[in-house]
Amino acid sequence: MAEKELHTDYDMIVFTAPSGAGKTTVVKHLLNKYTEKLGFSISATTRDRREGEIDGKDYYFLSVEEFRVLIDEDKLIEWEEVYPGKYYGTLKTEVGRMLETGKKLLFDIDVMGAESIKEKYGDRCLAVFVKPPSFSILVNRLRDRNTESPESFKNRIKKVKREMTHEHSFDYVLLNDELEDTLRNAEELIKNHLS
């Protein structure tokens, strides 16, 4: 795990990664482990709901029209068209609500969005890049996940290539090779910032 500098006063922790690198698994693990101290920033998205996902828990699933209203009314801290026609964004209300509870806010967002949050909140925000062991392993993981159409799979791979070059924008690089080790390292990292 690469470390740039140590702060303990973050109130936001952003996990980002190229698609398929395993960040959602890491984020879910941390939320289970530190339920009392961490809150999840539920994003808005226009992508279809996957099996098992719950509206208002995993995401707020919106139509493109509803999402446009959020943009027009300036209700998003950041938003990206992560895949063609698929919008994702962080709601101002989510951040406000969670910070009021005194919990640290955990984000699971794409690389561009994470860069925006880091730029906006600077030292209040710990930004962690989850790195897959290699590009080909990541492609295989994404294929095994089998959640994408061929077209969407192609788009994701294109994006992954671009995102793999951005790890240096973040405070920590967390290598996700063996999941057990990654989860332990993530716990250690977060524990240091929860005290």
Query: Interface residues with ligand 5GP (CB under 6 A)?
Result: 19, 43, 47, 78, 80, 82, 88-90, 108-110, 112-113
Nearer to ligand 5GP, 80 or 171 (CB): 80
Chain mean position to CA 189? 16
Shortest CB 112 distance to ligand 5GP, Å? 6
The residue among 22 and 113 lying less far from ligand 5GP, judged by its C-beta, is 113
User: Closest distance between ligand 5GP and the C-beta of residue 124, in Å?
Assistant: 17
Number of residue whose CB is nearest ligand 5GP: 113
Tokens of 76: 């998003």
Residue number, 71 or 192, with CB nearest to ligand 5GP = 71
Question: What is the Cα–Cα distance from 49 to 187, expressed in whole angstroms?
Answer: 29
What φ, ψ does residue 95 adopt, rounded to 5°?
Answer: -65, -45
CB of 8 to ligand 5GP, least distance (A): 25
106: which residues sit within 8 A by CB, 6+ positions away? 13, 14, 15, 27, 30, 31, 38, 39, 40, 41
Toward ligand 5GP, which CB reaches closer, 5 or 56? 56
User: In terms of Cα–Cα distance, which of 102, 114, 104, 103 is closest to 43?
Assistant: 114
Residue type, 120: K
> By C-beta, is 24 or 185 nearer to ligand 5GP?
24
| CB 129, min distance to ligand 5GP, A | 12
